[in-house]
């Protein structure tokens, strides 16, 4: 993929869609591209996450060790893994591997993401508003679920 393709793909994701184009361009330009062979591990459950991964091509399988969670989740091209890790230090909840075919990911280190937010404060403000809106929607969904299933 070209830089312009990476910018378009990143800009379509909720965490980046409120950012200025130049901020997204800087992230896309500075991100680290990695190609994985089928079955190759991207990260393991329990590892500390240093940032987020945009799945550029192929797909990534995430195996979760906890029985209460879905045992395997397939992340397709165009999706972001580790959105929270872009902002805060967190642990990986599962082991991620290239699923069935070669996969390419774009790694966005937390340090890069936070530096770009400092350089583009209006992007940071809009992103905060977008995250707040998503969290309010999630909270509303949880309240409705609780009401329908537990009251």
Q: What is d(CA 88, CA 115) in angstroms, rounded to the nearest whole number?
A: 13
**Which tokens hold the place of 82?**
């580790």
For the segment 136-151, the average pLDDT, to the nearest whole number, is 80
How far lies 77's CA from each of 28, 57, 122, 127, 144, in Å?
A: 16, 5, 29, 23, 31
CB 17 within 8 A of CB 134: no
pLDDT band at 120 (very low <50, low <70, confident <90, very high): very high
CATH code of the domain containing 98: 2.60.120.10
Ordered strands of the 95-98 beta sheet: 41-43, 95-98, 59-63, 72-76
pTM: 0.84
pLDDT at 9 over 70: yes
Q: What pLDDT is attached to residue 68?
A: 61
How far lies 91's CA from each of 10, 41, 45, 110, 116, in Å?
A: 23, 16, 8, 13, 23
pLDDT band at 1 (very low <50, low <70, confident <90, very high): low
For the segment 104-129, the average pLDDT, to the nearest whole number, is 93
CB 59 within 8 A of CB 65: no
Residue ranges making up the domain that contains 97: 3-150
% pLDDT > 70, the chain: 95
pLDDT band at 15 (very low <50, low <70, confident <90, very high): confident
Q: What is d(CA 149, CA 113) in angstroms, rounded to the nearest whole number?
A: 39
pLDDT in tens, 26-78: 999 999 999 999 999 999 999 999 999 999 999 999 998 766 666 788 999 99
Q: How many domains is the chain built from? A: 1
């Amino acid at each position: 993929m070209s830089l312009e393709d990476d910018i378009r793909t990143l800009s379509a994701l909720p965490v980046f869609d409120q950012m200025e184009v130049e901020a997204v361009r800087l992230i896309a330009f500075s991100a680290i591209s990695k190609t994985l062979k089928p079955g190759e591990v991207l990260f393991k459950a329990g590892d500390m996450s240093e940032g987020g991964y945009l799945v550029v091509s192929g797909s990534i399988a995430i195996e979760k060790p906890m029985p209460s969670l879905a045992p395997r989740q397939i992340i397709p091209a165009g999706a972001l893994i580790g959105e929270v890790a872009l902002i805060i230090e967190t642990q990986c909840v599962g082991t991620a591997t290239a699923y069935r075919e070669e996969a390419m990911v774009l790694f966005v280190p937390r340090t890069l993401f936070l530096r770009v937010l400092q350089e583009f404060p209006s992007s940071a403000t809009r992103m905060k508003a977008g995250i707040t809106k998503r969290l309010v929607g999630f909270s509303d969904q949880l309240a409705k679920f609780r009401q329908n299933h537990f009251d």
